[in-house]
Amino acid sequence: MLKPNEGSKYVFKNIHFKSVYLPPLNEVAQLLHLPSNISGMITHAQSFYDSDLSVSQSSIFHLSSRGVGKPTFKKIYTWFKSLSPNINEVFNLKVYKKTTRAMKVTSNASTYYSCIYGFNASKKSNKNDNELNLLIDWLEARSQFDYLMMSEIHNKAKSKSIDKKSPKDIWQLQKPYWQSHSLVPRQQLNIINEFYNSDKKREDYTEEDGLALIEVTYHLIFDFYLSAIANYEVGLHSYYRRLDENYNPKKGTSFFTNVLNTLIESDESNGCFDSVLIELKELVSSNGKPMTWRRLASFIPLKKFPSDNPNSGESLNDKQYKQLKDWRNGKNLPSFLKLEEFINAVFDKHGNYDSLALTVYFRIARAIDTKIQECYEQAHSEKTIPIFKTVIGQYPSYFKHYTDTVNKAAT
């Protein structure tokens, strides 16, 4: 069994380093409302495997904060070994060394390496095939590039070839990786070069200059997310094709492109999550009988409570419709379990679509909304809204690039 890693305690805190090229895994998990630390993973595993762990919730929480003693950790370790995949496969010495090297150079690849290895180990139960294959391969490549980039920065700073506190020196080493291993438009990268090579003083920068730098920053931030979404979506199409050789969608078909086009162009959309709802409504409409919002709301699962007043005059569908309006406005958003029940109910009546994939799209949409809000709150300017539309509007080129990459590899 493992030895205590902080005095006499076992503690597994999140490892994350500030990075735009490869954001910390726990931050990405939080955006997607997935478990983001060891405590959350244990809680999720308990429900997923329907397996009780004879350890208190407070002890599970402390495992990722102040730590737990040997007796408690032994119970957790033994419980983990009873699950599938076997924990002995997950704790791999080669991966441990790989993650340790990445940590030493402050690369977030350390946590991605572990995640990727765990995912690949779990695939064995599904004939090593999955709709996430392409995404995982891309994450592995991105992690390796980040590790190489951070190793170079670390080594040159150690040898004092660069000043590790100089953003310009750091950028010069990062630039080749952005140029070769990202889809950020070249003209945007040139703006950063001009910024670092300019003698212009900060007080001489105009508002236009500031907005140009904000646009570059957003391109850098969203490159990871747009690439990841595109690899998921292209991988999903490839998986469908492997399952059914007759699967032949219209060329360039991209559900998420439609979602983002709605977000950018429609006056009706109140956000990315709402845009998925709009596209869902469109998806299950027919020429003879278009889906209405009130009809769509009727599929929302609502529980009756003893406190409900039968004489209130508010019908069940009124409550459902009110809830759907809240969802559309980003209020009282549902748990993903409730959302999945809603999607399944819609698809049971209207078309044989992939409910799991649509749930993932809703999860992604919430992440996009959160990320846009974070960026907006930092700049706090209405003038950044067109910039968001420009950056998010790059998604079709990401989807095309990774589609072409898969098609080229298949020939």
194-225 per-position pLDDT tens digit? 999 888 887 788 989 999 999 999 999 999 99
pLDDT band, very low/low/confident/very high, at 84 (cuts 50, 70, 90): low
Q: Is the pLDDT of residue 108 over 70?
A: yes
Residue 283 CA to residue 271 CA, distance in Å, equals: 18
The pLDDT of residue 89? 64
- The two three-digit tokens of residue 319, written as one number: 């409550």
| pLDDT tens string 133-189 | 999 999 999 999 999 999 999 999 999 999 989 999 999 999 999 999 999 999 999
| Burial of 211 from C-beta contacts in 10 A (0-12 / 13-18 / 19+) | middle
| pLDDT tens string 315-346 | 899 999 999 999 999 999 999 999 999 999 99
User: At which residue do the structure tokens 């070769």 appear?
Assistant: 180
Span 359-380, average pLDDT:
94
CA-to-CA separations, 279 to 253, 258, 270, 291, 315, in angstroms, rounded:
14, 7, 13, 11, 27
Number of continuous H segments (helices) and E segments (strands) in the chain: 19, 0
Instruction: State the alpha helices, DSSP H only, in 109-206.
Output: 109-122, 133-158, 167-180, 186-197
Residue 309 CA to residue 329 CA, distance in Å, equals: 26
Ranked by mean pLDDT, the top range of 47-51, 233-237, 381-385 is 233-237
Q: Is the pLDDT of residue 312 over 80?
A: no
Cβ pair 84, 125 in contact under 8 A = yes
**Dihedral sign (CA 51, 53, 56, 57):** negative
The pLDDT of residue 258? 96
The pTM assigned to this predicted structure is: 0.92
Cβ pair 222, 391 in contact under 8 A = yes
Q: Which amino acid, one-letter code, is at 215? A: E
Cβ pair 384, 371 in contact under 8 A = no
Q: How open is the CA angle 107-149-32, to the nearest 5 degrees?
A: 45
The pLDDT of residue 186? 96
Q: Is the pLDDT of residue 308 over 60?
A: no
Query: Residue 293: CB partners within 8 Å, gap ≥ 6?
Result: 281, 321, 324
The pLDDT of residue 83? 76
| pLDDT tens string 230-284 | 999 999 999 999 999 888 887 778 999 999 999 999 999 999 999 999 999 999 9
DSSP string over 330-379:
T-SPPPHHHHHHHHHHHHHHS----HHHHHHHHHHHHHHHHHHHHHHHHH
pLDDT band, very low/low/confident/very high, at 118 (cuts 50, 70, 90): confident
Q: How open is the CA angle 105-26-103, to the nearest 5 degrees?
A: 15
Residue 111 CA to residue 98 CA, distance in Å, equals: 10
Mean pLDDT of the chain: 90
Looking at residue 381, what DSSP letter applies?
-
The kind and range of the H/E element at 318 are: helix 316-328
